[in-house]
Amino acid sequence: MSDPGPVPTPDHVVGRVNDLALTFLDVLAALLLAAAAGYGAWQAWGIGWGLASAGVAVLALSLSAQAKAHPRPVKVAARKRPKVPGPSDPGPVHIAGGE
């Protein structure tokens, strides 16, 4: 068997630069989508609707990004405790001669 040699360790600076570049490109794409929606609405219906549609697009993309950054925890159903016989519910107790 041959020795594969030393295992390269990931460079943290390269990872950080990659994360920042991807974040920048994501933001740029979101702003271009909002600008396109605003410009299209402006040409079709006027400047008010253009600004409104661009604002809605930015808001929707922002909420989407926040939801992906902070996912909601999974809800676990609470376990139901078995009903223990007591004064209010005697359970399956049978008394000879009782009703």
Give per-residue pLDDT as tens, 28-39.
888 888 899 899
Closest to 52 (Cα-Cα) out of 61, 42, 44 = 42
- The per-residue pLDDT for range 36-93, each reduced to its tens digit, is 989 999 899 988 988 888 888 888 878 887 777 777 788 877 777 766 666 666 666 6
Longest dimension (CA), the chain: 89
Instruction: Please report the pLDDT score of residue 44 as a whole number.
Output: 92
* Residue 85 pLDDT: 61
Q: Does the pLDDT of residue 17 top 80, yes or no? A: yes
pLDDT at site 86: 61
3-state secondary structure the chain: CCCCCCCCCCCHHHHHHHHHHHHHHHHHHHHHHHHHHHHHHHHHHCHHHHHHHHHHHHHHHHHHHHHHHCCCCCCCCCCCCCCCCCCCCCCCCCCCCCC
Give the start-to-end residue ranges of the domains of the chain. Answer: 29-69
Q: Write down the pLDDT at residue 95.
A: 64
